[in-house]
Amino acid sequence: DTTLRDGEQCPGATMNLHEKLEVARQLARLRVDVIEAGFPIASPGDYEAVRAIAEAVQGPTIAALARIKEADIERAGKAIEPAARRRIHTFSSGSDIHLEAMMRMTRAKNIEKSVAAVTFARSFTDDVEYSAQDTTRSDRSYLVDLYTAVAEAGATTLNVPDTVGYASPEEFGDLIAFLVASVKVPGVIFSVHCHNDLGLAVANSLAAVKAGARQVECTINGIGERAGNCSLEEVVMAMRTRGDAYQVFTGINTREIIRSSRLVSRMTGMVVQRNKAIVGANAFAHESGIHQDGMLKN
């Protein structure tokens, strides 16, 4: 769950330290596997929040985000130090447009720096996640080279972000299946991080699960940058309700979903639309007389 990191990047959704701790404790009750608690290098407040969550919250792995820079990784490592289970999530990019325009880096230099970052992160924890931003607009053969190199350097989770919400479910599922088959490093977990710019974040994440992804990055109520992220409650309930289709399970305590949704809404000031799937006020309400009649009969 990345509500406390990417979710908080939603305009107007800033939380203070007390609020972040309350949300993190609720995420633990929800039984998420990993809490991405923040981006420690971004500000003293972010560092303090990640450190406080690492000290106070038991159960989930506590993750901190870092660019492929030693200063970022060192700051992240110190922030998560108190956690019983800790992870550093370091990221670069995979697309030429990002490498050329944003990072001013060649493909080869990006691989070199990414490998160095993963190696350095391993000095703080054995649990290292690596993301290449903008994978859905990246050259596939380059992605194989990049992900293989960081996995061989010790990255245990390879995250595939649809950074600008560009992919369709068919395309994204095909990309994940290709990477799972092509990156031949035993034991790595493939992860996805989908944005909702085209309203497809949940559909893309589910397509990825069918193609072999075994971690989905998501947020409570789908909050996040721009149009938001994959909604935790929707992707969890889709897999639970349609277990026949997905053949996977999560450890999520679904009885805590509504409480989690309401808490995040209250803490961030982001009102949940009434017709929002799973957690909206109208999600289980029937207006049609025919539907009402059916519900009363059964």
Res 294: pLDDT: 61
Give me the residue label for tokens 């949300």: 23
pLDDT of 125 reads: 99
Angle in degrees, 0-180, between the axes of helices 107-121 and 70-80, rounded to the nearest 10 = 30
Domain-embedded: residue 277: yes
**Does residue 69 sit within a domain?**
yes
Cα separation, 202 vs 197, whole angstroms:
11
Are the C-beta atoms of residues 134 and 161 closer than 8 Å to each other?
A: yes
Residue 2 domain flag:
no
**Residue 227 falls within a domain, yes or no?**
yes
The pLDDT of residue 10: 84
**CATH classification at residue 73:** 3.20.20.70
Q: What is the pLDDT along the chain (298 residues), one digit of tens a residue?
A: 999 999 988 888 889 999 999 999 999 999 999 999 999 999 999 999 999 999 999 999 999 999 999 999 999 999 999 999 999 999 999 999 999 998 999 999 999 999 999 999 999 999 999 999 999 999 999 999 999 999 999 999 999 999 999 999 999 999 999 999 999 999 999 999 999 999 999 999 999 999 999 999 999 999 999 999 999 999 999 999 999 999 999 999 999 999 999 999 999 999 999 999 999 999 887 555 555 556 556 6
The neighbour count for residue 143, using CB atoms within 10 Å, is 21
Neighbours of 167 (CB within 10 A): 28
In a domain, 1, yes or no: no
**C-alpha atoms less than 13 angstroms from C-alpha of 16 in its C-beta half-sphere:** 1
Q: Any idea which residue has 């820079």 for tokens?
A: 69
pLDDT of residue 71: 99
Q: Which residues of 93-131 are buried (b: 16+ CB within 10 A; e: fewer)?
A: bbbeebbeeebebebeebbebbbebbebbbebbebbbbb
b (16+ CB within 10 A) / e for 182-196 = ebeeeebebbbbbbb
Q: What angle do CA 242, 257, 240 make, to 5 degrees?
A: 10
Q: Is residue 220 part of a domain?
A: yes
Please state, as a whole number, how many other Cβ atoms lie within 10 Å of the Cβ of residue 71: 10
Residue 98 lies inside a defined structural domain of this protein = yes
What pLDDT, on the 0 to 100 scale, is given for residue 289? 56
Residue 92 domain-assigned?
Answer: yes
Kindly tell me the burial class for residue 43, based on how many C-beta atoms sit within 10 Å of its own C-beta (0-12, 13-18, 19 or more): exposed
For the whole model, what pTM was predicted?
Answer: 0.93
Q: How far is Cα 132 from Cα 278, in angstroms, rounded to an integer?
A: 31
Q: Which residue range(s) make up the domain with 133?
A: 7-297
Is the separation of the CB atoms in 127 and 87 below 8 Å?
Answer: yes
How many structural domains are present in the chain?
Answer: 1
> Helices marked H in 183-256 — which ranges?
201-211, 232-241, 243-246
How many other C-beta atoms are found inside a 10 Å radius of the C-beta of residue 232? 31
